[in-house]
Amino acid sequence: MSAGDEGQPTQATAASGETVAYRSLEEFLAAVERRAFRTAMIATRQRDDALDIVQDAMCKLVQNYRQRPNHEWAPLFQTILQSRITDFHRRKKYRGMIFGWWDRRGGDDDESPLDSVADATQANPLNEVNTQRAVDALEIALQRLPLRQQQAFMLRTWEGFDVATTAQVMGCSEGSVKTHLSRALSALRECLGEDWP
Amino acid sequence: MSDLDERDQALIDGARQVLDQSAAELDAITAQRLRQIRREALAQPARAHWNWGYAGAATAAMAVMAVVLWPGPQQTDATVASLEDIELLSANEDIEFYEQIEFYQWLDSDGQAT
């Protein structure tokens, strides 16, 4: 463990807007790894791709930024994570442009996102069913958002970053963050309905 | 997020709660894989960063050394002198011949003139 990993806990803004102190890089990564995976999973819809993205982000943070002050880890990690997600979508777009004609020949596997919503009639306890339905519905609604709106929503609401930090992570202006978030909330309200969750 | 109305705030609170729950209830295989990824990442050495201060000092030292050690004109003279010495040492003529070489050179030029 290097010198920058240990020492007095430093206040850092983390999940859900709470202020959390991390004593070590390991503690920080342990605290964010599941949220990072869920974020990448929602963005990519592929478990293996999501794990790869989380792995890349963790490795780069450790290699390049472990000596940085603890309170910088969260925005740095999110910057790397969101950059990797953007790269994934860029590669997917180019791949689609090149191989799109071939994929269209298959044609019959374009499953609707709603098909993966949990069936409320299955024999689980009622609470679990309702919870799972709420999760599934939210994930589908988030996946339908344009990437930038999705990023603004996740960073502002789940990671608890303020507008300035979100703008820094996304590499855009604060005004753009507000616009993306406003549009995301509007689209989510429309998709999920007033009664959700 | 004080600029949000009540409906937005309710949606955000609900989304946060649902997302927290989904992260907490990850399947065991994925959770195990994430722990493994974390351990592997932490086991990596930190990448060495360039220290521009040291790099600048090293460059300046190399420049000074190059200037000091660069072979100048005096080095060439010394080399020529050494070659002449070697020629003298390896010659068969008696040393007295070289002591009076100026006389012989004058005699030679005088003879050519006459």
Choose the weakest-confidence range: A103-107, A122-126, B36-40: A122-126
- The pLDDT tens digits of the residues spanning B11-31 come to 999 999 999 999 999 999 999
Query: Who's near B43: CB < 8 A, 6+ residues apart?
Result: none
Contact between chains at A189 and B7 (C-beta distance less than 8 A): yes
- The pLDDT tens digits of the residues spanning A139-179 come to 999 999 999 999 999 999 999 999 999 999 999 999 999 99
Contact A155, A78 (CB under 8 A): yes
Which of A138-147, B2-11, B84-93 shows the highest mean pLDDT?
Answer: A138-147
Across B62-85, b (16+ Cβ under 10 Å) vs e yields eeeeeeeeeeeeeeeeeeeeeeee
**How far apart, in Å, do the first and last CA atoms of chain A sit?**
43
What Å distances lie between residue B96 and A87, A139, B106, CA to CA? 89, 108, 16
What is the per-residue pLDDT for A6? 42
Contact between chains at B46 and A25 (C-beta distance less than 8 A): no
Q: Tell me the average pLDDT across A66-90.
A: 93
What is the per-residue pLDDT for A106? 54
Type of residue at A56: D
Say what percent of chain A tops pLDDT 70: 74
Chain A residue closest to B28 (CA)? A34
Within 8 A of A29 by CB-CB distance, chain B residues are 38, 41-42
What is the per-residue pLDDT for A28? 94
What is the domain partition of chain A in residue ranges?
Answer: 1-109
Type of residue at B43: A
What is the per-residue pLDDT for A114? 47
Contact between chains at A64 and B22 (C-beta distance less than 8 A): no
> CA of B53 to nearest chain A CA: how many angstroms apart?
18
> CA of A119 to nearest chain B CA: how many angstroms apart?
17
Instruction: Pick B2 or B103 by higher pLDDT.
Output: B103
Task: Mutation target for A interface from B42, B47, B50, B51: give the one with most A CBs within 10 A.
Answer: B42
Instruction: Pick A195 or B15 by higher pLDDT.
Output: B15
Rounded distance between C-alpha atoms, residue A117 and residue A141, angstroms: 11
- The pLDDT tens digits of the residues spanning A113-123 come to 444 444 444 44
Residue A45: pLDDT over 60: yes
What is the per-residue pLDDT for B77? 56
Nearest to B21 among A55, A135, A189 (CB): A135
Residue A127's pLDDT band (boundaries 50, 70, 90)?
A: low
Residue A109: pLDDT over 60: no
Contact A34, B23 (CB under 8 A): yes
Residue B2: pLDDT over 60: no
Residue A94's pLDDT band (boundaries 50, 70, 90)?
A: confident
What is the per-residue pLDDT for A125? 55
Choose the weakest-confidence range: A58-72, A98-112, A182-196, B57-71: A98-112
Chain A residue closest to B37 (CA)? A55
Rounded distance between C-alpha atoms, residue A101 and residue A97, angstroms: 8
Residue B73: pLDDT over 80: no
Contact between chains at B20 and A16 (C-beta distance less than 8 A): yes
Contact between chains at B33 and A189 (C-beta distance less than 8 A): no
Give the distance, in angstroms, between the CA of residue A99 and the centroid of all CA atoms in the same chain. Answer: 27
Within 8 A of B46 by CB-CB distance, chain A residues are 2, 62-64, 66-67
